Structure 1
Amino acid sequence: MAPPFSATLTRIRHLHANNVRTLRTSPLAEISGSLGDLGTLLPLMIALAVNNSISLSTTLVFSGLWNILTGVFFGIPLPVQPMKAIAAVAIARKFSIEETVSAGFTTAGVVFLFSITGLLRWFTRVIPTPVVKGIQVGAGLSLVISAGTSLLKPLGWTTPNAGDNLLWAIFAFVALLTTQKLPRVPYALLIFILGLVISVFITGSHHLPSFHIWHPSPFIPSWFAFTRGALNAGIGQIPLTALNSVIAVSYLSSDLLPQIPAPGVTSIGLSVALMNLIGGWFGAMPVCHGSGGLAAQYRFGARSGASIILLGIFKMLLGLLFGETLVSLLRGYPKALLGVMVLAAGLELAKVGESLNYGARDLWEVAENSQGRKKQRKVGENERMERWTVMFMTVGGLLAFKNDGVGFLAGMLCHLTYRSEDLWASFARFWRRRRRGRMTDGERQSLLGRR
């Protein structure tokens, strides 16, 4: 058997060959797909930068670096996106940079412990597939709702300006529908370029970015900043990161890209932890991987790690050469175009629920006399209904309380309710075996005599 380091190098060489081959075959699709997650990244990153809760230049440099390394080591279009729960609290409470990165340190530290102790692998084994699918569908529908309420609903037919209104949203939506049957058309790339042109028109030429070399500065949180960030935002991010950014991502990658080995939950967890435990000291935005971003980049054409490597290079160049001067231009990016991109990404993620009762990984089993080959297990009517109920109970809890943890608990309780008879029977068998082990010789002989 090859040593671990040699096996890792071999795997990276195979992934690199696939990245190069895919980029040569479909360059426009890879470039377009790399921009698929902008609808999530731009609004939160801009709001945090304007709020002075992160360093924009450092965020671009480090997130770009993580994009490149992710594409190299995982070989799939795995996004590097904001930790949404932390971002929401940081924006609402006007966190300082020290408080924001402290929240990221807290989440990253817990995920790191989960990864090295094997708890993430254990979670993957014990959490039923309908609950994981529910987290994915709920996250997708959350993106759809967010697109409508935060980005599209405030728009009028001609307001807030000529470059950002409902007419532009309708145009972007019609273009999205038109390109459904034209997968080679780089929709996200074209919309991104159009958005930049409109943004220049809105903000004016005097707000164009200027040359500004990146000068990193360390940020060491005080005890007060650390506790405020950890208690108010970091702890609440943990279930979202563990469920949606680690476990759900591993499931989704095998569903969308079965030809590429899916990254394990331990490697994804370590990746999330290290990104924040390194970049946070310089004021970088707390980031994670996410199933929504993976679905978005896949939806707009990405099929390999080459897409996010290209995105990472672009982000690093922007951060190194322009940095904070980009804020004004990005602030004027049309919400109409971002909203439609987020809508499409959310629908793509929600679609994974379709495979719950056909094609889900827990329905494959080794066939008899098949030399290890697997076949799809047929699901009966009662089991099919149980699985749908558990999934939608998870979705309902997540959407009702806007919290992945609540959705997870709702789905698990529903699953355990359906399994209560089996659990009770297992407990009864365990108790009988335990009881027999404690019997005296006379009691055991008496029991055998009665039999």
Structure 2
Amino acid sequence: MNLRQTTAHNLSTFRHHYVSEISGSLGDLGTFLPIAIALAVNNTVSLSSTLIFSGIFNILTGLFFGIPLPVQPMKAIAAVAIARNFTNGAIAAAGLFVAAFILLFTVTGLLTRFSNAIPIPIIKGIQCGAGLSLIIASSNTLLSSLTWLSPSWADNRLWALFAFLSLFATTAYRKVPYALLVFLLGLLFALILAAQSFSLPSLTLWRPSVTIPSRHEWAIGSLDAGVGQIPLTTLNSIIAVVHLAQDLLPDHPSSPPSTTTIALSVAGMNLLGCWFGAMPVCHGSGGLAAQYRFGARSGASVVFLGAFKLLVGLFFGESLVELLKRFPTALLGVMVIAAGLELVSVGESLNTTGARDIWKAAGRTNGLVGEEIGPMLTDVERKRRWMVMMVTVGLLVGFKNDAVGFLAGLLCHWAFEIPALVEGVKRWWAERRGGVRLE
């Protein structure tokens, strides 16, 4: 990783496309804000610590990797923590448990071997499944509770429809900073609603405190939430992120991130932040797709976001909870759906040289997304790859579990390999019998 080259790229991109970079930096707020608010309201995490540490991690990842790599919540842990009203110690234990496992998995070399062994159609399926999961979750949790005129004049189906139409319009005009405009509109509405209820943020300096999980909290956090997060982090937040970065940014001047560096980043973030009451975080493929969709092309976007989070967390902290609770879910929901659609679209390159296994087989050093590959794949091979990807997608979405989707896709892939395996055994047996006769 060439830090000088990465820094030069960040500065150059921000200097020439600062509006797009700022807009792109806000692309993942649709995932970050609802979970952070829900955990902060329950006093499960400290909002100020979450903003400060995620801001620091945004800055470091932007400087080190040079791509719009997100810092987003560990969703499986967050879901369990919200449903069971976890204590600070329990959610910290969950994040630390996952971080320790990922660190061990990485330093032993098992993660690299595991990543290299996964067929590309399964990885594409995990990415598409994650995108569909975002769309379904947004529709079921953020948008389903809205009516045409409620819960307020600033948050209803009319505003969701407006956000959808604006999103479709900006699909043809990508230079329009959609996420930035939507965020500013939502922030304006939230400020008006907070002022009406006399709950505007106030100057509140951060007072750090250390969270030490008890033995009981270690057991609850690790077993009830941490174990379920491990496959999601490994598959979607590490392996899928590495492949997605290569798909979306094939011409990036710095070398693409590896599974090892991404995994060490995930482990390091949580081994530091969770002790101070921060929300467990990771790097997600959905967040990368969202920030790319809304204009981010370099690490400068997340450096900007990180600096903003850091300042807000240091000086306003917990007083922001009431303001953020009033941010319109109609606007957040549409931003999440846009991220999901961007992530689903990567499946289009499954049978083109946008798929890494195909362009490597063709002797390329990188792929050209969407390029036709002619006779390299037969119709049967295309259908098999598509089937493996769709089995992965279907079972992942159906069971809401990345591990189930991964195993289903792997079984489907192996099933297609059975005829070749049988033929190989037949040839081996024939050769063996022939050798015996010669003796």
Output the TM-score relative to the length of structure 1.
0.92
Are the counterparts in 1 of residues 355 and 367 from structure 2 also a CA contact under 8 Å? no
Q: Which moved more, 1:219-228 or 1:113-122?
A: 113-122
Amino acid in structure 1 at the alignment position of 2:413: H
The answer for the alignment partner of 1:5 in structure 2 is none
CA distances 1:202-248 after superposition (whole Å, capped 9, x unpaired): 23252111111111100010110011011100000000000000000
Unpaired runs of 5+ residues, structure 2, are: none
Pair 1:79-2:67 in alignment: no
Q: Give the direction of change, closer, same or farther, for the CA distance of 1:224–1:425 in structure 2 (3 Å limit).
A: farther
Amino acid in structure 2 at the alignment position of 1:154: S
Q: Give the direction of change, closer, same or farther, for the CA distance of 1:213–1:142 in structure 2 (3 Å limit).
A: same
CA distances 1:94-138 after superposition (whole Å, capped 9, x unpaired): 000100011111111111111111112111211100000000000
CA distances 1:58-111 after superposition (whole Å, capped 9, x unpaired): 110100000000001100000000000000000000000100011111111111
The answer for the alignment partner of 2:270 in structure 1 is 276
Structure 1 residue 426: Cα displacement: 5.3
The answer for the alignment partner of 1:107 in structure 2 is 98
Other structure's SS at 1:365 match: helix
After superposition, the CA RMSD in angstroms is: 2.0
Pair 1:360-2:358 in alignment: no
Give 2:142's match in structure 1, choosing from 134, 151, 166.
151
The answer for the alignment partner of 2:175 in structure 1 is 184
Distance 2:100 2:324 in 1: 32
Pair 1:404-2:402 in alignment: yes
Distance 1:94 1:254 in 2: 38
Are the counterparts in 1 of residues 72 and 283 from structure 2 also a CA contact under 8 Å? yes
Distance 1:111 1:365 in 2: 28
Other structure's SS at 1:89 match: helix
Q: Give the direction of change, closer, same or farther, for the CA distance of 1:108–1:429 in structure 2 (3 Å limit).
A: farther
Pair 1:298-2:292 in alignment: yes
Give 1:91's match in structure 2, choosing from 71, 79, 82.
82
Distance 2:307 2:427 in 1: 59
Pair 1:317-2:315 in alignment: no
Distance 1:422 1:125 in 2: 21
Distance 2:216 2:246 in 1: 42
The answer for the alignment partner of 2:336 in structure 1 is 342
Trace 1:162-201 onto structure 2 (pairs within 5 A). Answer: 162-201=153-192
The answer for the alignment partner of 1:226 in structure 2 is 218
- The structure that has the greater radius of gyration is 1
Amino acid in structure 2 at the alignment position of 1:212: T
Equivalenced residue count is 430
Structure 1 residue 159: Cα displacement: 0.7
Moved >4 Å (runs of 4+):
372-377, 424-433, 446-449
Amino acid in structure 1 at the alignment position of 2:207: H
Distance 2:392 2:357 in 1: 18
Identity, % of aligned positions: 57
Amino acid in structure 1 at the alignment position of 2:237: S
Structure 1 residue 447: Cα displacement: 4.5
The answer for the alignment partner of 1:395 in structure 2 is 393
Are the counterparts in 2 of residues 367 and 374 from structure 1 also a CA contact under 8 Å? no
Give 1:259's match in structure 2, choosing from 251, 265, 268.
251
Amino acid in structure 1 at the alignment position of 2:355: A
Q: Give the direction of change, closer, same or farther, for the CA distance of 1:193–1:380 in structure 2 (3 Å limit).
A: same
Pair 1:66-2:64 in alignment: no
Q: Give the direction of change, closer, same or farther, for the CA distance of 1:324–1:189 in structure 2 (3 Å limit).
A: same
